[in-house]
């Protein structure tokens, strides 16, 4: 094992310029992925918050307490409803006074305001399903009309789908490019040592044993690239960018903590180094003839 580790480190020094290029390119790719993911997460979080703020309001005719209770139970039984709150006629008048001032009563009586239910909707329910349910509720006895922003829901849902697809495509392309960079670097290293590989095969070394130092070299490249990229990312978002633009200080880290994204970037970097080197070493060592 000590020999394999020494050979892995030695491989970095033998092709130092190629390795440096690979590490820098891989770190830039990972930095791009980290920035893209954090920006996308904040955009997604903002869109979800807007979607959660969209409520479906059910205005009622004059109903007695028993029928209001039955209406509440019926609404709660719908699979699109997350939470429900009842606004009586008196509460509706109070809300109107707080929004328009007490002088509004001098213009018009407030007893015309209907009682209503405000429904908070589940995140996973698509906008077209909510539209169908709203149309069904509007046909119920005792329901005067339904109010909700259908166009906003449709727009948010479309934008979320577009954001998710674009982010996935861009991220996948960057990942493939990063792995190819490691692949090409290890391929050059294998080619430069083809005579040594032939000699090792002559004395009975297996392909797996010969491949191990190159795989370790790829893992080391991934580790170095990950360290560079997460250092730049953390420094940029925590120190540099907030000083230039205060709005960056309002951005949240994915899942509320910085170490989730940092840990994922380091894991991804090492994984890309391992996959790229294993692919390159395995392919070209098998092709090296005695």
pLDDT of residue 122: 80
Task: Specify the higher pLDDT residue, 23 or 250.
Answer: 23
Are residues 63 and 44 located together in one domain of the fold? no
Query: What's residue 168's pLDDT?
Result: 81
Q: Which of 164-168, 268-272, 274-278, 280-284 has the lowest mean pLDDT?
A: 280-284
**Which of residues 115, 131, 148 is at a domain's end?**
148
Q: Does position 142 have pLDDT exceeding 60, yes or no?
A: yes
pLDDT at 88: 82
- The answer on 128 and 217 residing in a single domain is no
- For residues 184 and 236, membership in a common domain is answered with yes
71 and 33, same structural domain?
no
Our measurement of the distance from residue 112's CA atom to the centroid of its chain's CA atoms, rounded to an integer in Å, reads: 47
Residue with tokens 């015309």: 112
My answer on whether 80 and 124 are in the same domain is yes
Is the pTM higher than 0.85? no
Which of 30-39, 41-50, 107-116, 222-231 has the weakest average pLDDT? 107-116
Mean pLDDT, residues 136-154: 80
Structural domain ending residue among the three candidates 124, 148, 172: 148
Q: Using H for helix, E for strand and C for coil, what is the string for 120-177?
A: EECCCCCHHHHHHHHHHHHCCCCEEEEECCHHHHHHHHHHHHHHHHHHHHHHHHHHHH
In the structure encoding, which two tokens stand for residue 103, read together? 């002088």
Phi, psi of 153 (to 5 degrees): -60, -45
Does residue 89 carry a pLDDT above 50? yes
What pLDDT was estimated at residue 243?
75
Overall domain count for the chain: 2
pLDDT at position 262 over 60: yes
- Looking at the structure, do residues 38 and 80 belong to the same domain, yes or no? no
Predicted pLDDT of residue 289: 55
pLDDT at 240 over 50: yes
Average model confidence (pLDDT) for the chain? 77
Q: Is the pLDDT of residue 106 over 50?
A: no
Checking if the pLDDT of 158 tops 60, the result is yes
Is residue 35 over pLDDT 70?
yes
Tell me which residue range forms the domain holding 64.
55-148
Considering the domain architecture, whether residues 164 and 277 belong to the same structural domain is answered as yes
Task: Indicate whether 93 pLDDT > 80.
Answer: no
- pLDDT band (50, 70, 90) for residue 99: low
Strands 55-60 and 143-147, bridge-based pairing = antiparallel
> How far apart (Å, rounded) are the C-alpha atoms in residues 218 and 186?
7
pLDDT over 90 percentage in the chain: 1
Whether residue 131 is predicted with pLDDT greater than 60 in this model: the reply is: yes
Q: By percentage, how much of the chain surpasses pLDDT 70?
A: 81
């Amino acid at each position: 094992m000590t020999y394999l580790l020494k050979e892995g480190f030695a491989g970095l020094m033998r092709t130092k310029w190629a390795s440096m290029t690979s590490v820098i390119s891989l770190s830039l790719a990972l930095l791009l992925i980290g920035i893209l993911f954090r920006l996308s997460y904040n955009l997604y979080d903002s869109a979800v918050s807007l979607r959660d703020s969209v409520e479906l309001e059910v205005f009622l005719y004059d109903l007695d307490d028993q029928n209001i209770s039955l209406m509440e139970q019926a609404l709660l039984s719908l699979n699109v409803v997350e939470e429900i709150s009842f606004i009586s006629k008196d509460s509706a008048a109070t809300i109107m006074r707080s929004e328009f001032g007490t002088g509004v009563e001098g213009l018009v009586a407030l007893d015309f305001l209907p009682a209503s239910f405000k429904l908070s909707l589940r995140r996973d329910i698509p906008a077209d399903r909510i539209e169908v349910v709203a149309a069904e509720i509007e046909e119920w006895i005792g329901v005067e009309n339904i109010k909700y922003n259908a166009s906003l829901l449709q727009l948010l849902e479309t934008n979320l789908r577009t954001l998710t697809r674009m982010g996935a495509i861009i991220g996948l392309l960057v990942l493939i490019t990063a792995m190819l960079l490691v692949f090409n670097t290890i391929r050059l290293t294998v080619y430069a040592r083809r005579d040594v590989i032939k000699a090792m095969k002559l004395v009975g070394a297996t392909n797996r044993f010969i491949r191990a130092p190159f795989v370790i070299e790829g893992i080391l490249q991934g580790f170095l690239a990950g360290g560079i990229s997460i250092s730049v990312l953390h420094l940029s978002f925590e120190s540099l960018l907030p000083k230039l633009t205060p709005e960056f200080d309002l951005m949240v880290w994915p899942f509320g903590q910085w170490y989730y994204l940092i840990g994922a970037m380091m894991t991804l970097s090492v994984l890309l180094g391992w996959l790229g080197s294993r692919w390159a070493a395995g392919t070209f060592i098998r092709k090296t003839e005695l």
